[in-house]
Structure 1
Amino acid sequence: MANETQVFDLRQFFSRANLRQLAAPVLVMLVLAMMVLPLPAFLLDFFFTFNLAVSIMVLLVAMYTRKPLDFSAFPTVLLTTTLLRLSLNVASTRIVLLEGHTGPDAAGKVIEAFGHFLVGGNTAVGVVVFVILTVINFVVITKGAGRIAEVGARFTLDAMPGKQMAIDADLNAGLIDDKEAKRRRGEVAQEADFYGAMDGASKFVRGDAMAAIMILLINIVGGLIVGVVQHNMSAARAMENYTLLTIGDGLVAQLPALIISVAAGMVVSRVGDDQDVGSQLIGQMGANPAVLMLTAGILGLLGLIPGMPNLVFLFLAAVFGAGGWYVAKRQRQEAEEAASAEEAGAQPVTTGESGDASWADVTPVDVLGLEVGYRLIPMVDKGQDGELLRRIRGLRKKFAQDVGFLAAPVHIRDNLELRPNAYRITLKGVEAGSGEAYPGMFLAINPGRVSGQLPGAATRDPAFGLPATWIEAGMREQAHAMGYTVVDASTVVATHLNHLILSNSSDLLGRQETQALLDHIAKESPKLVEDLVPKLLPLHVLQRVLQCLLEEGVNIRDMRTIVESLSEHATRSQDPLELAGRVRTALGRAIVQQLFPGNVELQVMALDPGLERILAQAVAAGGADGVLEPSLADNLLRETASAAQRQEDLGLPAVILVPNSLRWLLARFLRRAVPNLRVLANSEVPESRNIRVTAIIGGQG
């Protein structure tokens, strides 16, 4: 019963084991065993033949690959085949020295065939052929392949940042998704690793060539000593026997080495990745019929010279001429077929209508748009000196001064589909806000501390959602006296528009605005901009960094500091979030000054140390996009919102001070639940400012 269970377990193991995973370790162990274990002549023949077959197979695989990474295992194959050849040299040396006195077939039929058939049994010719093969392999092919691999590795590493930025650009443009971007980044890194490995692996072949020469000399000298001293052979006979065996052994090892070196050269010298080597050579060298015709003409002229091998030259001239005629005929046919297809596709299509669609019917989407009902038209009519037009011009100017860039113009148009007093604000064609305004009336906004109610149409302030009432002009002074904030209709619309522009300032900063901002800075500091874009940072990464700052209410007026900070850190990272964090640190004084004017004490909220550790673990596990446990997230949101409300009730800005590593996670997580909250990192607070913690979040848990 136990034996049956054991057999079942073994079958189960072998049925589940992946035999391909066992092949490489078994092969390496056999190769290493050949160095220490004596092999009979039959096994030597088998392994020498196997070595030759592997080298031929590697050459064919290299010729049929379309790009180097298709044969990414080649450096490992190069090492394994080199180790196999050296092991065979050791094994064959052992048997040659032990049995060489018995005759030319002492080390097997393969070595005998290479020693007699290839060099005619002539030791001098064998030595010369062996040296020539070694020189070709070592000096020409291996050295050239190694140089190509070395240069390829260097240029691939230099090009990695540009390739990564190109991938990021395609990702940001929506041309590829995250999976494709990840695959391309992995391919770029793998390409650099491949050329680096090939640079090192080429040294294996060079070392193998040097070892082959040394093994040849050692075998000749060792065979002479063994034959004369141990087997009492004459020096001439010993020299002939052992030298011939050694030459055969060297040739049978160097021929596969030469084939492998040629394969290495083909792999690293590939240019283009859409065809294999054969298709590429035939397609490029035989694509021009004029080249083939000229070659045929030159060969024909040489074939007419007396004393030349006329038949060979004239035969090759005829072959090249026929090839040129065939290529020219095929190209004419393809051109005629393409022209026919183009004429068929260019036939006009008649619709029977005089007004066909044209590109004039495609209107671009306005970045910023304001649509008004017909009763609000006087507010935006230039002919009637509309008050709202002047306010919008002033609004854009103030936005440029406060935020740091010029927003897109506001395109105003009437919309009869809206209610008469309604307006709608659009951002890139999408409605961002709407409301109603009543020309000639005033909006009395309740800031929270009023002494009574006003008669009129109750509503809410469209910008901030505060309770409000539309009142007649005659009640304006009474509303002021009761504590209301009173504004006219054009101010209502302008304030709403201003609020939406400030809230969506990051969406308003496009590539065109970013480039215009750089051009504006370059007028005063051209070198500063030139050193950053595009040398260190592409435009789209700079745009994303600025958008990250604007998303959290940080203005970009101090572009000099921003550009200098990016120039300092762009060489180490191209991640917009990380660069934005570095810029925030550089702008720390301005950020703090914006929240706490003057030199007043910074009264901020802080996290409980235990909560900080939990959040730090979440960041360590998932990066800046770490996922929080639901109950922890709910408690964090609730306590932060409550503490922020207490801060605002005391007339203080809602600011929470956190470690640098947690700032982005908390800013993104708390932004929607607590819109007025500002998250500061420790590194952003100047050392000269005093800090007082007014609330600890997470201390109850």
Structure 2
Amino acid sequence: MRFNDVIMALLVIVIILMIIIPVPLGWLDFFLALNISLALTILVLSMFVKETLEFSVFPSILLITTLFRLALNISTTRYILSDGKAGEVIDAFGNFVVGGNAIVGFIIFLIIVLIQFLVITKGSERVSEVAARFTLDAMPGKQMAIDADLNSGLITENDAKERRKKIQREADFYGAMDGASKFVKGDAIAGIIITVINILAGFMLGAFTMGYTLSQSIQKFTLLTVGDGLVSQIPALMISVATGIIVTRAASESNLGTDVLSQLFAQSKVLYIVGGVLMLIGIATPLPNLPFITIGIAIMLSALRLTQDKKELEEQAEFESEQEEERDNNDIRKPENIIPLLQVDPIELEFGYGIIPLADPNQGGDLFDRLVMIRRQIALEMGIVVPMIRLRDNIQLDSSEYLIKIKGNDIARGTIVFDHYLAMSPGVVEGEIEGIDTIEPAFGLPAKWIRSEDREKAELLGYTVVDPSSVISTHLTEVIKKHSHELINREDVKQLIENIKESNSALVEELMPNLMSLGDIQKVLSNLLKEFVSVRDLVTILETLADYARSTRDVNILTEYVRQRLSRQLSRTYFPFGKAKVVTLEQSLENMLMEAIEQNENGTFLSIDPMTSQNIVASLAQEVRKLIQMGEQAIVVTAPIVRFYFKRMTEQSIPELVVLSYNEIESDIDIQSAGMVSI
């Protein structure tokens, strides 16, 4: 990389020195050929890039090539005006390309310059300007979309960083192109001025200092100047065309050649009409019939070939569909295929027929890809492998309705609005936006369904805007998290332990089967997941169970020991800033709860009368309400022995309540009691 940087710096310095120091004629021919080669390379490369960022260095190259052409123009002008010659390349362009006719060459030169200046450069400059403005205007909305996908778990933090970086690079690229296109425009103007100067100065110098007659001077210096102009302007024209191609590339997934052929000749009807019209023109008009009829026949044959190819593809698709339908019918007739119908899927997502396009990749749906991201997100956050999510269409649902099932039972449902986006206020927005009022299904937040054309406006006002697929996937993610303790079974636990055994075989052999069974470990993990505690650190969990399973077989008590061992994880989850306000229990209440703990053959339980329980819950609800009004999370801290039983007592009334024990909070966490629950 350092070597490349030094080479580029030296090249730029050499180009600048060419403006000052005369270049030998042999080297000048080499540099002129190099200029043409470089321009041709840039032109061809611009046709093969799929998106602009694949050639993000183009604005800098545009500046360097413009400077290179300027240096060559100055060097050739020096030779033309001083010696009346400028090397073999310019002589060839002046004599061979334009046939030695100065007037014809001058006219060709003017046409090239005008096409480059008025058509290509002007259009590229305008496209760059508009693209830069729209790219910058759309940046806040794109950033919001990335944040929404990240929050819903569709992408990782690294993916979000890459997408943000790409958005920034696009804005920088089009901004640079807006300015770099001025280089091409200025180069065209400079080419015209240099040509006029060369011709006028050459007339006078040839006639008065070199001994040429006026006609000889006009002929010689016009040819040299036009040759010089063509040598510089033809590469400039190629780079101008490359600029236009680069800035007009949009909504493409392939290179220019593939896109042109696949889109220009995609409709056989169009080809039939064009071919017929051309043949009619060749037959019924005085125009030359051979070229029109030949081209017309060629286009008609292309249309016929395209029609046959489409027909073959349709027949093949129909044949495969019939084969698949026949296989399905044969499978239905087999009695042994009734058995799979008895199996209950752990997770099902049913939807109305209108949502099918979201789940069909052939129609641009990305729901399948999002399901993969959901399973990956749950694995990282909760430490479990989510079972395969079954997608089914259900004609009994409304077209825009979806239903989430856990083990065959209806858990949650929602409705989307097609061709709309869901806009949610993060708390502070700069204005209101029109839409259909609704409730966001995953978190119960007020939201609005807005039209797609209002999306950018809503994002600029500060709303978080997500598409229907994101709404469904976010809702599904939250449902899976909430019911993860129901989804983990013995087979899942076995797979997790087998994975741990590869690197911690001694731990697994000590714990199973002598101290705990697979079912007991599954119950402990289920207890943790029920309170949204991640079991990803399975080694720590199994080590804790191995330490305490000798003294007790009660899975609830073992769960409490595990929670205490995971104190760092719990502290970072619930106290990310190192301090918080919480609700505590009066000492008398904790003593009463400790005395109410009883034990039988099934384990321990809390024996308390319903009236006392209701009073405790009522006092708790009042203190939690005050805590939430302060902007704090609803967290209660209790003595270790009481925590489990207090959580069980309150989970029906306040399911979102977080109950921690003092042993589950790290010593560096600053907690303050904002209220106290009493009897």
Conserved in 2, the CA contact under 8 Å of 1:365 and 1:429?
A: no
Report the counterpart of residue 64 of structure 1 in structure 2.
48
Conserved in 2, the CA contact under 8 Å of 1:75 and 1:198?
A: yes
Q: How many angstroms does 1:305 deviate by?
A: 2.9
For structure 2, list consecutive stretches of 5 or more residues without a partner in the other structure. Answer: 349-404, 414-443, 447-477, 487-525, 534-554, 558-583, 599-604, 636-664, 675-679
Report the counterpart of residue 25 of structure 2 in structure 1.
41
Q: How many angstroms does 1:188 deviate by?
A: 0.3
* 1:89-122 superposed Cα distances (whole Å, 9 cap, x missing partner): 000000111111xxxxx21111111111121111
TM-score (ref. length: structure 2): 0.56
Distance of aligned partners of 1:261 and 1:671 in 2 relative to their CA distance in 1, 3 Å threshold? farther
- 1:606-621 matches, within 5 Å, as none
Q: In structure 2, what is the Cα distance between the partners aligned to 1:499 and 1:404?
A: 23
Q: What one-letter code is carried by the residue in structure 2 that aligns with 1:81?
A: T
Q: How many angstroms does 1:182 deviate by?
A: 0.4
- 1:377-396 matches, within 5 Å, as none
Distance of aligned partners of 1:190 and 1:457 in 2 relative to their CA distance in 1, 3 Å threshold? closer
Report the counterpart of residue 676 of structure 1 in structure 2.
672
Q: How many angstroms does 1:472 deviate by?
A: 8.3
How many percent identity over aligned positions?
36
Q: How many angstroms does 1:494 deviate by?
A: 5.7
Q: 1:196 aligns with which of 175, 183, 187?
A: 175
* 1:51-74 superposed Cα distances (whole Å, 9 cap, x missing partner): 011011001110000011111011
Q: How many angstroms does 1:673 deviate by?
A: 2.8
Report the counterpart of residue 373 of structure 2 in structure 1.
none
Q: 1:90 aligns with which of 74, 82, 92?
A: 74
Q: Secondary structure at the match of 1:488?
A: helix
Q: Secondary structure at the match of 1:676?
A: strand
Does 1:219 pair with 2:205?
Answer: no
Q: 1:305 aligns with which of 284, 300, 303?
A: 284
- 1:160-309 matches, within 5 Å, as 160-309=139-288
Q: In structure 1, what is the Cα distance between the partners aligned to 2:445 and 2:281?
A: 77
Q: What one-letter code is carried by the residue in structure 2 that aligns with 1:257?
A: A
Q: How many angstroms does 1:362 deviate by?
A: 3.3
Q: 2:338 aligns with which of 352, 359, 363?
A: 352
Distance of aligned partners of 1:196 and 1:254 in 2 relative to their CA distance in 1, 3 Å threshold? same
Conserved in 2, the CA contact under 8 Å of 1:457 and 1:470?
A: no
Conserved in 1, the CA contact under 8 Å of 2:252 and 2:259?
A: no
Q: What one-letter code is carried by the residue in structure 1 that aligns with 2:409?
A: T
Report the counterpart of residue 458 of structure 1 in structure 2.
595
* 1:468-515 superposed Cα distances (whole Å, 9 cap, x missing partner): 996889xxxxxxxxxxxxx62333456667878988x7xxxxxxxxxx
* 1:613-634 superposed Cα distances (whole Å, 9 cap, x missing partner): xxxxxxxxxxxxxxxxxxxxxx
Q: Secondary structure at the match of 2:595?
A: strand
Conserved in 2, the CA contact under 8 Å of 1:671 and 1:677?
A: no
Q: 1:488 aligns with which of 612, 618, 621?
A: 612
Report the counterpart of residue 105 of structure 2 in structure 1.
126
Conserved in 2, the CA contact under 8 Å of 1:366 and 1:428?
A: no
* 1:339-365 superposed Cα distances (whole Å, 9 cap, x missing partner): 333344444244134646575753355
Q: What one-letter code is carried by the residue in structure 2 that aligns with 1:219?
A: N
Bigger Rg, structure 1 or 2: 1
For structure 1, list consecutive stretches of 5 or more residues without a partner in the other structure. Answer: 1-16, 101-105, 368-402, 416-425, 437-444, 462-467, 474-486, 506-545, 554-668, 679-701
Conserved in 1, the CA contact under 8 Å of 2:597 and 2:607?
A: no
Distance of aligned partners of 1:310 and 1:490 in 2 relative to their CA distance in 1, 3 Å threshold? same
Question: How many pairs align?
Answer: 419
Conserved in 2, the CA contact under 8 Å of 1:228 and 1:235?
A: yes
Q: Secondary structure at the match of 1:352?
A: helix
Q: What one-letter code is carried by the residue in structure 2 that aligns with 1:551?
A: Q
Conserved in 2, the CA contact under 8 Å of 1:366 and 1:427?
A: no
Distance of aligned partners of 1:280 and 1:671 in 2 relative to their CA distance in 1, 3 Å threshold? farther
Q: Secondary structure at the match of 2:262?
A: helix
TM-score (ref. length: structure 1): 0.54
Q: Secondary structure at the match of 1:320?
A: helix
Distance of aligned partners of 1:275 and 1:470 in 2 relative to their CA distance in 1, 3 Å threshold? closer
Q: 2:633 aligns with which of 533, 551, 566?
A: 551
Q: In structure 2, what is the Cα distance between the partners aligned to 1:435 and 1:490?
A: 24
Distance of aligned partners of 1:146 and 1:675 in 2 relative to their CA distance in 1, 3 Å threshold? same
Tell me which moved more, 196-205 or 265-274. Answer: 265-274
Q: What one-letter code is carried by the residue in structure 2 that aligns with 1:279?
A: T
Q: In structure 1, what is the Cα distance between the partners aligned to 2:615 and 2:412?
A: 23
Q: How many angstroms does 1:162 deviate by?
A: 0.5
Q: How many angstroms does 1:256 deviate by?
A: 0.5
Distance of aligned partners of 1:119 and 1:325 in 2 relative to their CA distance in 1, 3 Å threshold? same
Report the counterpart of residue 370 of structure 2 in structure 1.
none
Conserved in 1, the CA contact under 8 Å of 2:52 and 2:249?
A: yes
Distance of aligned partners of 1:40 and 1:552 in 2 relative to their CA distance in 1, 3 Å threshold? farther
**C-alpha RMSD of matched pairs (Å):** 4.0
Report the counterpart of residue 318 of structure 1 in structure 2.
297
- 1:515-526 matches, within 5 Å, as none
Q: What one-letter code is carried by the residue in structure 1 that aligns with 2:66?
A: T
Does 1:362 pair with 2:401?
Answer: no
Where relative contact order (Cα < 8 A, 6+ residues apart) is larger, the structure is 2
Q: In structure 1, what is the Cα distance between the partners aligned to 2:625 and 2:314?
A: 57
Q: 1:327 aligns with which of 295, 301, 306?
A: 306
- 1:410-449 matches, within 5 Å, as 430-431=530-531, 447-448=586-587
